Structure 1
């Protein structure tokens, strides 16, 4: 199956009442585990290359890797650039084969965010690449604070940029290791009452599982970004293998040993968000 765009997987999710996981990739092993998990679950998956991933591995290499996995998979796989801050970053992703880009202008005044996002939309639409934007600021656990999304700003942003998906801030926080985020459902309802595109929650690892399922099936949140939860599964698997095999020094053997546990964690997330299409 060829790589899918973000729109191609989120539109059915909107129509049928489920969500798709945007899983944060850091290397080959987790990208493979995520794709295998999606095939086992029978669900689409969004493979995401965030700033940390792109700093570690050149974007053209990541593009080839993501597209290879997508073309071998039996389910839709979106190849997504996450948290790009400039038009140039998005253009590099598009040129490298990514099918979706997230331009993060949330740190800018609204008018500048709209202008930047619109500039990405104008180049991406020419080559059938989807665009995610963000209004409001999703903070970081132990770091920068959040700023809640204004419904009026969300409406204006969607209308003027014509994005395909909108990331919002309603209590979700990046890098939470405990599921303690308190999602403001009233704020969510106010935003989805004046917007039409699928909504995205970054910091999905910190949202309780029952809440994620509720949002996926009863609201317009159709994409959850999840990274910390899966990195924790990777770390647990890695430490367990090294404790059991202290003499092992082969890098491939060590990293390959993490795949089953990461694959199972990813599969559970995918099915949690898509309970209406298991198997």
Structure 2
């Protein structure tokens, strides 16, 4: 299946994604709408487009008004305490009426109240969970919690002292397809897998190289994944280094990589090759003559020098 897309094809996919929510059902519809495209390519675009949406709307979800609306201080009490304290009291109904989270968990403690709220306001479930957890810890401790503690509890919700909130946090993290600790682990594993795959291909071709960890040991602070000890030629272009990207190369991410990484590699080590394993927009491969070549797979026509 195709992995490289023209700009027009990519924009068609992006327009489709702008009209659907970031759910598994939408991903299924995306595959049905574009059957000729690689599923991995579509999944990567799906994730990247959703991340762009979250970045555009991130600020509005972190205003004091928004965070207070998502979280009420009284929701931090354990479910059992709430039931004991307010059971049979008339004012309980009036109090819970405007508290979306509390009203939901009192009706059904296992219901995905936070997850539903995140989906309703088009916010990443894991990020919604982070907001609520941070305010919970802040009230418990009386001070702003450290990022280390928050990250640890998001990775392992069993550490959260409120069991109802722990379950809500868990539901958010396991149902978030673009953010959160599970997604981070998957992305890290996939990225490492493709680096290992690239290394094995280089070894099969008897191409000598220095890997990133070897380069760091030599004192380099910013390096590509592999520097070739003897340059090779690919499609008539000399290659000194290769960078592996287990993602789709859209215009936004590629421009960021050019600015933050690729041109720095070019300045230090000469021309190189970037492999976007899940494809890229064809028009972005426009810097070949300047020394940056794009491919969506390991080259088959390598010429050793």
Q: Fold conserved (TM > 0.5)?
A: no
Which of the pair has the greater relative contact order for Cα pairs under 8 Å at 6+ separation? Answer: 1
More helix by share: 2
Task: Give the TM-score, by structure 2 length.
Answer: 0.26
Task: Give the TM-score, by structure 1 length.
Answer: 0.27
